[in-house]
Amino acid sequence: MPKLYTAKLNQLTKNPQVKKIIDLEYIHECGQCENCGGLGIISIFLANMGPFTEVGAGHLISKWCDGKWWCAPGFVEPGKDANKTNFKFGTVSDTCPVCHGQRRISAGAYVPMPQECRDRLNSVCDKMKMP
């Protein structure tokens, strides 16, 4: 399923300095929101440098995508004018527009962990306890 983004994230992706937009994927369990994977937020990586054949050095954050390294600064400089906002590079996040941060589409969509798995998990936890 293609991800849905908020207006804020869509606007950030339109900056001409962005060279690559990388979806940050997370594994989700049954019953969790399919858009955010149950985190309640959507995150993307906006690279303004690349592609490179090696990881960026210094204050750069690097992500591997499509067989190349893409980079962004590891910090955001403060705004010089209160009326202007600095564009963010690197990892940017916003509340999931599908579940609105609730993590589940509905309580009825939640599928609990099977009892067999719970029993096995409890057994492992019991073995790890100190006498």
Q: Which pLDDT belongs to residue 89? A: 80
Q: Which pLDDT belongs to residue 83? A: 44
Q: And the tokens for 48?
A: 């303004």
Low-confidence ranges of the chain (pLDDT < 50): 81-85
**Domain ranges for the chain:** 7-128
Query: With a threshold of 0.85, does the pTM exceed it?
Result: no
Q: Which pLDDT belongs to residue 60? A: 86
Q: Which pLDDT belongs to residue 84? A: 46
Largest CA distance in the chain: 61
The gap from C-alpha 101 to its chain's centroid, in whole angstroms, comes to 13
Say if residues 50 and 72 touch (Cβ distance below 8 Å).
no
Kindly give, in sequence order, each residue whose CB lies less than 8 Å from that of residue 109, ignoring residues fewer than 6 positions away.
31
Q: Which pLDDT belongs to residue 85? A: 45
Say if residues 61 and 74 touch (Cβ distance below 8 Å).
yes
pLDDT tens-place string over residues 110-127: 566 678 877 887 887 777
Spatial distance between the Cα atoms of 61 and 12, rounded to a whole number of angstroms: 18
Q: Which pLDDT belongs to residue 36? A: 86
Q: Which pLDDT belongs to residue 119? A: 83
Spatial distance between the Cα atoms of 52 and 11, rounded to a whole number of angstroms: 26
Q: Which pLDDT belongs to residue 125? A: 73
